[in-house]
Amino acid sequence: MVGHDEKPIINSLLDADFYKFTMGQVVFFHHPGINVRFAFRNRTKDVLLGRIIKEEDLRRELDHVRTLKLNRTEMRYLRGATIGTEQMFRNEYLHFLEHQLHLPQYKLECRGNDFTLEFEGDWARVIYWEIYALAIVNELYYRAILAGKSKLEIGAIRANGVLRLAEKVKILKENPEIIFIDFGTRRRFSRDWQDYVVETLAEELPESQFRGTSNVWLAMKHGLLPMGTSAHEMFMVLAGAMDTDDEAVRASYQEVMRRWYEHYGFELSVALTDTFGSNYHFRVMTKRQAEVWKGLRQDSDDPVAYGEKAIRFYQSHEIDPCEKLIIFSDGLEIEPIVKLYRHFRGRIKTSFGWGTNLTNDLSLKALSLVIKPVMANGRGLVKLSDNPAKAIGTPEDIERYKRIFGYQEGEYKECKY
Amino acid sequence: MVGHDEKPIINSLLDADFYKFTMGQVVFFHHPGINVRFAFRNRTKDVLLGRIIKEEDLRRELDHVRTLKLNRTEMRYLRGATIGTEQMFRNEYLHFLEHQLHLPQYKLECRGNDFTLEFEGDWARVIYWEIYALAIVNELYYRAILAGKSKLEIGAIRANGVLRLAEKVKILKENPEIIFIDFGTRRRFSRDWQDYVVETLAEELPESQFRGTSNVWLAMKHGLLPMGTSAHEMFMVLAGAMDTDDEAVRASYQEVMRRWYEHYGFELSVALTDTFGSNYHFRVMTKRQAEVWKGLRQDSDDPVAYGEKAIRFYQSHEIDPCEKLIIFSDGLEIEPIVKLYRHFRGRIKTSFGWGTNLTNDLSLKALSLVIKPVMANGRGLVKLSDNPAKAIGTPEDIERYKRIFGYQEGEYKECKY
């Protein structure tokens, strides 16, 4: 499971996060013709990827993804997904996926220590690149790292991975009410390792605890539930694409919320709140939305403070927080998971979207790689986040968005909700 | 691929012929509460199965099938099957498969040279046993045969299988217009061998030639089209269940045809014609049915004579036979396939449902095993077939059905169509 592997890294277009398809459908039907650019960024500055990954390997793997098509079985599997008793993916969108989805050419420039990797084109097609490209860069990095090691050293890395997974499983068994999902495709050590982790979790833990995986291919392979929420890109791209003035930028926010609920109803109604600061979200999510949406996803800043705020938010609308859910998904590890679960037990439902530390915990350093939308129809895009370190955009754009969305740093923790 | 294998033989409820599910749905919706009995029969009299297969092995394998459930992925796959843009399998039936399908207990009695194996209960559940049980008996037989052989002998058997498959593929490549389907699940040498054969055919031949497999699990595994027509049991059981008098028995025939078309329309409209003699079929298939049904399946007696008759039948209704299809499925081998294809080329479309000789051609003797319905709601069932050696039923019942359906031996080849 650990070691060199000459198979292509991505061998199925379903080897991606489920939300790429749920978002992809919304984009396909409602937001056609938006030109976007997504850019790769390595947040782990002390790892010089350009010195470690060979350009030809990266090109070969990316090129291979562009040759893939969804086969009959994959199409039937997607067609078989339901919302209640209805098809989750409509026939027109399925037809697009089967016959018209050609991933746009990527733009790769290697410059010594670093490389730029960008994807530009119609959002409805560019959207799929993110997870494939991240998984490829990650796996190429670890292949390169392992190439310099002895057989025993590689064996020891794998042994560490097994023991760390066993420890996680042990703690999860001691806390059977903790519910979690694998969100680790994009930063996995390797495809085979994620496969091993997911299969092991499914064997060791009941479905009431390990609820599924965001990886559609692995969900299909192991008979699990493919799961996911939605991503910042929905808010970011729409804000940019609708940007005629400040009001239009603000209006784009509810446009995203509305379209999502329209397509996926209660079943997928977990709101990602921090794109322009969660305070904004809590100000504009209506009482009606608070009532009907299943819950919220926390993806930046202090999760305890966030949960407390969410509880106050629901209470302010006279909604029992015990009926609502928070999915925590920001850099989780087993100890914080247990702490968060215990902290909120009996007060609000919790679930954990566990990424990097679940699928890439073998004693090697994990990288913080992202691919984010940076441009839509010529406009620079912005993410504010509850953690300013995660912000995206030019300083000018960030300042403008802070004004538009009434974002105040520091305000967050003292918010009245 | 050849050799002992301690995995259970059947590991998925989809490891069966597709038509068990298409028929199963019709039975579920339209023919509930019919008590049926299916009985195993070994037509290869000189092989004393009771001396070769151990009772405990047979019980273990059959018991294992009863523990299987359709998992999430299998359910999504079935839900994703379509007729045009509609779901092929309706939600109520899918719910039944997922939550209520428990295979009834089997009845096994071993008596020295032979054993009786019967399945009795509600048709809607008993219907699924046929393929699992046949595949199990076959594979246990070959496991027992191989157990007495040396490693080299087993290697040679496998080598024969590979060479024979290569020869088939060679001839098929020389005749690229021959279209065929794997129908060999029930009499396969082993699951792994069928898997190898199907995967190889899919790799070697274009989909325009190797159209798919009747095995749903393999179709899903390899991204192929699961295919099938329907079986004699539809006509046999309905005739028995509706039997209040001769007229009702006759009426059951069109009831089967009508329900089938209602559910599956043009896409699956290939009529199996020989249950009570194909002459009867050609007499009662209306001009309208001949126009809208895609074609016919030939399963007994002389295929050339049958095809000629089919051509005359269509011409008598002023239908161009070139628009219609015959699927030949009776004991095919490569030479007859090529001959039949050439004989009918340009006169009527042909396709070949290739069974035993495709998935069990490794130089070992193939067995002729069947599991057929013998009783419905207390009445003995009858199949006449175009080949009297394939007839099923007591002599009295057979005589009565011959009268009811105007069946005359010898009449067949001189029929005026």
HEC string of A234-298?
HHHHHHHHCCCCHHHHHHHHHHHHHHHHHHHCHHHCEEECCCCCHHHHHHHCCHHHHHHCCEEEE
Q: Which of A73, A91, A219 sits opposite B220 (nearest CB)?
A: A73
DSSP B226: B
Q: Which amino acid is at B243?
A: D
Report d(CA A262, CA A25) in Å as an integer.
12
Phi, psi of A107, rounded to the nearest 5 degrees: -120, 110
Q: Is A298 in contact with A328 (CB distance < 8 Å)?
A: yes
- Right CATH number for A18-361+369-414 from 3.40.50.300, 3.40.50.2300, 3.40.190.10, 3.20.140.10? 3.20.140.10
Report d(CA A406, CA A403) in Å as an integer.
5
B221 and A73 within 8 Å at the Cβ level: the answer is yes
Q: Calculate the alpha carbon distances from A159 to A155, A205, A384, B289 in Å.
A: 6, 21, 40, 66
Q: Is A321 in contact with A344 (CB distance < 8 Å)?
A: no
pLDDT, one tens digit per residue, over B174-198 is 999 999 999 999 999 999 999 999 9
Pairing of strands B369-376, B35-42: antiparallel
From the list A153, A156, A413, A191, the residue with the least C-alpha distance to A302 is: A413
The pair of structure tokens assigned to B285 is: 């298939």
Total-model pTM: 0.89
A73 and B225 within 8 Å at the Cβ level: the answer is no
Q: Is B229 in contact with B268 (CB distance < 8 Å)?
A: yes
Report d(CA A41, CA A369) in Å as an integer.
6
The pair of structure tokens assigned to B7 is: 């995995």
pLDDT at residue B408, rounded to an integer: 84
Cβ neighbors of A321 (< 8 A, separation 6 or more) are A310, A311, A314, A315, A347, A348
Report the complex ipTM. 0.83
Task: For residue B169, give the H/E element and its range.
Answer: helix B151-174
A72 and B225 within 8 Å at the Cβ level: the answer is yes
Q: Which of A78, A85, A221 sits opposite B80 (nearest CB)?
A: A78
The pair of structure tokens assigned to B107 is: 């009845």
Q: Which of B73, B91, B221 sits opposite A77 (nearest CB)?
A: B73
Is domain B19-414 classified as CATH 3.40.50.2300? Answer: no
Min distance A179 CA to chain B CA atoms (Å): 19
Sorted by where each begins, the domain ranges of chain B are 19-414
pLDDT at residue B4, rounded to an integer: 43
HSE value, Cβ hemisphere, 13 Å, CA-based, for B289: 21
B interface with A, Cβ–Cβ below 8 Å? 71-82, 85, 87, 91, 219-225
Q: Calculate the alpha carbon distances from B140 to A72, A315, B4, B12, B361 in Å.
A: 32, 65, 10, 17, 16
pLDDT at residue A6, rounded to an integer: 72
Q: Which of B80, B85, B221 sits opposite A76 (nearest CB)?
A: B80
Long-range Cβ pairs for the range A198-203 (8 Å, 24+): A198/A222, A198/A224, A200/A165, A200/A169, A201/A169
Q: Is A393 in contact with A382 (CB distance < 8 Å)?
A: yes
The backbone region for B7, taken as left when phi is positive above 0, alpha when psi lies in -120 to 50, beta otherwise, is beta
SS3 content of chain B, % helix, strand, coil (to 5): 50, 15, 35
B80 and A85 within 8 Å at the Cβ level: the answer is no
Report d(CA B47, CA B137) in Å as an integer.
13
b/e string for B118-137 if b means 16 or more Cβ within 10 A? Answer: bbbbbbbbbbbbbbbbbbbb
Report d(CA B199, CA B197) in Å as an integer.
6
Choose the mutation target among A77, A210, A225 for the interface with B, i.e. most B CBs under 10 Å.
A77
pLDDT at residue B5, rounded to an integer: 53
Q: Which of A72, A77, A222 sits opposite B76 (nearest CB)?
A: A77
Q: Considering only alpha carbons, which residue of chain A is nearest residue B79?
A: A80
Mean pLDDT by 10 residues, chain B (417 residues): 68 98 98 97 95 96 98 97 94 97 96 94 98 98 96 96 97 98 98 98 98 98 97 98 97 98 97 97 98 98 97 98 98 97 98 98 96 97 95 96 90 45
pLDDT at residue A112, rounded to an integer: 87
A interface with B, Cβ–Cβ below 8 Å? 71-82, 85, 87, 91, 219-225
From the list B368, B363, B369, the residue with the least C-alpha distance to B146 is: B363
pLDDT by residue, tens only, chain A of 417 residues: 444 457 999 999 999 999 999 999 999 999 999 999 999 999 999 999 999 999 999 999 999 999 999 999 999 999 999 999 899 999 999 999 999 999 999 999 998 899 999 999 999 999 999 999 999 999 999 999 999 999 999 999 999 999 999 999 999 999 999 999 999 999 999 999 999 999 999 999 999 999 999 999 999 999 999 999 999 999 999 999 999 999 999 999 999 999 999 999 999 999 999 999 999 999 999 999 999 999 999 999 999 999 999 999 999 999 999 999 999 999 999 999 999 999 999 999 999 999 999 999 999 999 999 999 999 999 999 999 999 989 999 999 999 999 999 998 765 444 444
Report d(CA A202, CA A205) in Å as an integer.
6
pLDDT at residue B268, rounded to an integer: 97
Cβ neighbors of B39 (< 8 A, separation 6 or more) are B116, B117, B118, B371, B372, B374
Q: Calculate the alpha carbon distances from B49 to A178, B110, B134, B359, B368 in Å.
A: 53, 10, 13, 20, 12
